[in-house]
Chains A and B, each alone.
Chain A
Amino acid sequence: MLESHTPFQIFLKRFFSHRLALIGSFFLIAVGLGVVLIPEISPTDPSTTRPWLGMSPPGTQFPLCLSENQFKINEDPLTSPALKNAQSIVLELKGNEEQTEYRVVLRRGKIRTIQQGVTAYDEVSFKEGYSRLEAIDANGKVVTNLPPAIIKKGDKPPITWLQNKKQRVLIFRAYKEASNQQITIEMQGGICKSIQQNGNAIEQTSFDGKQIIDIKLDGKSGWRTFHFGSDQLGRDLFVRVFYGGRISVMVGLTATFVSLFIGLLYGTIAGYLGGKWDRLMMAFTDILYGLPFIFLVILLMVCFGRNLFMFFLALGAVQWLTMARIARGQVVVLRTREYLDAARMSGATTWNLIFKHLIPHTLGPVIVYTTLTVPVVIMEESFLAFLGLQIQYNNQMLDSWGALIKEGIDRLGNDGQQSWLLLFPASVMVITLVGLNALGDGLRDCLDPKEH
């Protein structure tokens, strides 16, 4: 009683003793930091694909390069930003397998000619120096991983299966394991300055992501981990989730403000006019309220395309009804409050009345309602994405949380082998929604004048 508490201090005191509100704020701060920072500081971006990796579970390592990279001296290389920004790149590459093809013509089951290109051979041995051997018959049937063998003019083919009399032409493909390459690239200001292959300077090099055995950037490891695993294109789910968060949160906030604006305006006008107008305007919202709005939103999105603007229009149109009711309720209650009469008695002008005495009192419920609408909109957006009505902008799909979840559900696998694709985006979204809902509830409790 003795120390002076402003209403704001009281609010803070109550807020900090409200466990749910605190948990909610904590969640929100965590997700908020993630959404803002992770796409910025992450060395990779959400759209980089690594098809050779496919869907890999959380914890898989990946090199920081594109699936095809090309370096030329004194040119801007075609590769990932992480490599462009490095000073020195040290790569250990699996060499490209060298493939030799021998055309074998048979007569009555016996080898008649052996040709590689235009060169003819009498005898070829695949016993040494080759890593694997394949044979293809005239029907296109491929037999892989043949045992090492020798083919010789006049002999039967070495493998029984190939000794069929009807065979006329066979192709043997022998693969030679190339030795690993060591490539060192020096970069300056994003321009490639020198390339060394196994110690020899060369003019240009290109390599695929799948060749990489080891990669070092400026002496540090160039490998990163898929914290949340990757999708079927090898995109990093971790970055995609937080990047998707930007879209979801942005959509949530914008649609909420749209509904806030329309609802506040409509509700305040209805409440302020009162009487017949009030009843008419509210009967209109009652009728709209009775409509199964989500059906109309679905139809709207189907029929008029799924661009962002349509989406805001559709969701804003649903949500403003509640806001209008709340705003009207507030105004009607406040209009009868005695302190407004008191303010009028102390000579307050209309503006004074509205800005000093009315608006500050409506803020509480409006803030609470805003906090509670954002999660609703985020949920509706993901609901539409789930139905396959993902939102688009400039004819580009926006991978919001809903879209990621939809993808996760579709690729769950028969036994849920790829469950990370669903669980991670879903968890981050649910944490955000829990945060917002808990915060909203907490604010409602803390701003409730009844408990003063």
Chain B
Amino acid sequence: MLQIALRRIALAPITLFVLVSFTFLMIRLAPGGPFDGERELPPEVIEALNEQFYLDKPLPKQYLNTLKQAITFDFGSSMKHRDRTVREIIREHLPNSIKLGALAISIAICVGLVAGMTAALNANKFGDWGTMLICVIGISLPTFVFGPILQLIFGMKLKWLPIAGFETPNQIILPAITLALPFSARIARLARTGFLEVLKEDYVMSAKARGSSMARILIQHVLPAAVRPVVSYLGPAIAGIVTGSLVVEMIFLIPGLGREFVEGALNRDYPLIMGTTFVYGSFIICSNLTADLLNRWLDPQSRGAEE
């Protein structure tokens, strides 16, 4: 187990390295430069800017510089807001994104597990079928459709909740629900399949034959095995939540990192793109890693395995 964990952890920096290189290649090989959009800057200023942002050096040197920046986590200052460093921007915006994402993933797990378990226990009855239909709809509703619809209903028509902002607690409700919906639906489906499969296992019947109550069977014998597909999904789910948060932050005008990334990308703000991509990338890689290790740990056989 330890060996596997170490090996997986060793793979993470490689992935990050690939990510940084990809990002670098993409933004530097593209035609056009970051200051094309700015009107009539005198050539001296552009030159000075190029020097400040290292753009006058040959590409390999720029690349090495970028790698150094990634290792020291110091991406310099933003190209558009030249008075602020990327690190400051991240420090300011990341907590909002984390708050939103954490709330969303908690909602998704709770709702998904409960719905999936209920559906599995009522297999082939109407409740099961209905839940699955709702799940398919949940999966098929894109965040950028569901969010505005929630705004329309609860914000504009019923006027129950604010439609935008991020200061008061009730402003986080709609964005969190929007972000959680597709993931609760997927978790519910995975949990249902997981429970159905485990409930069919012989060991559930033999636990029953020992006189265990249904609650005990569900919690001790079924749950740890049934949640394993859900746990393996957590990695991709967190990646998906990160992606979804781009949209949600734009719809609900939340000052999070996602909006900064999108704006950075649209403005070709190289340091900001590099910084945000790096943060998101490491986050996704870490969550994938955690989910993978957790999943292995849940299975005693691979927990003890050497290879």
- For B97, the chain A residues whose CB sits under 8 A away are none
Say yes or no for A23: interface residue by CB 8 A criterion: yes
- For B140, the chain A residues whose CB sits under 8 A away are 375, 430, 433-434, 436-437
What is the 8 Å Cβ interface bit string for chain A, positions 198-224, against chain B (1 contact, 0 not)? Answer: 000000000000000000000000000
**Which residue of A283, A303, A416 is within 8 Å of B268 (Cβ)?**
A303
Could you list which residues of chain B lie within 8 angstroms of chain A, going by C-beta atoms? 11-12, 14-15, 18-19, 22-23, 26-27, 29-32, 129, 132-133, 136-137, 139-142, 144-145, 148-149, 151-152, 156-157, 239, 242-243, 246-247, 250-251, 261-262, 265-266, 268, 273, 277, 280-281, 284-285, 288
A291 touches B19 (CB 8 A): yes
- For A302, the chain B residues whose CB sits under 8 A away are 30, 265-266, 268
Provide the bound-state CA to CA distance between A79 and B15, in Å. 59
Q: Is the interface of A mostly helix, strand, loop or mixed?
A: helix
- For B268, the chain A residues whose CB sits under 8 A away are 302-303
- For A296, the chain B residues whose CB sits under 8 A away are 22-23, 26
**Which residue of A19, A299, A429, A434 is within 8 Å of B23 (Cβ)?**
A299
Say yes or no for A105: interface residue by CB 8 A criterion: no
- For A430, the chain B residues whose CB sits under 8 A away are 137, 140-142, 145
Known: A296-B22, A296-B23, A387-B262. A429 touches B14 (CB 8 A): no
A298 touches B262 (CB 8 A): yes
**Which residue of B30, B132, B242 is within 8 Å of A20 (Cβ)?**
B132
Say yes or no for A355: interface residue by CB 8 A criterion: no
The 5 closest A-B pairs by CB, nearest first: A303-B30, A433-B140, A416-B156, A290-B15, A434-B140
Say yes or no for A286: interface residue by CB 8 A criterion: yes
B273 touches A434 (CB 8 A): no
A290 touches B285 (CB 8 A): yes
Could you tell me how many residues of chain A have their Cβ less than 8 Å away from some Cβ of chain B? 47
**Which residue of A288, A292, A387, A415 is within 8 Å of B280 (Cβ)?**
A292
Provide the bound-state CA to CA distance between A287 and B10, in Å. 12
Query: Could you list 5 further interchain pairs (A-B, Cβ under 8 angstroms) beyond the known A292-B280, A294-B243?
Result: A20-B132, A290-B288, A303-B27, A430-B142, A436-B140
B30 touches A304 (CB 8 A): yes
B26 touches A422 (CB 8 A): no
A286 touches B152 (CB 8 A): no
Say yes or no for A399: interface residue by CB 8 A criterion: no
- For A423, the chain B residues whose CB sits under 8 A away are 149
B137 touches A291 (CB 8 A): no
Say yes or no for A426: interface residue by CB 8 A criterion: yes
Smallest CB separation, A429 vs chain B (Å):
7
Smallest CB separation, A60 vs chain B (Å):
20
A291 touches B242 (CB 8 A): no
* Listed A/B pairs (23) with beta-carbon separation below 8 Å: A290-B11, A290-B12, A291-B18, A291-B281, A292-B281, A294-B243, A295-B277, A295-B281, A298-B261, A302-B266, A303-B27, A303-B268, A304-B26, A304-B31, A386-B247, A387-B250, A408-B148, A409-B144, A409-B251, A415-B157, A430-B137, A433-B140, A437-B140
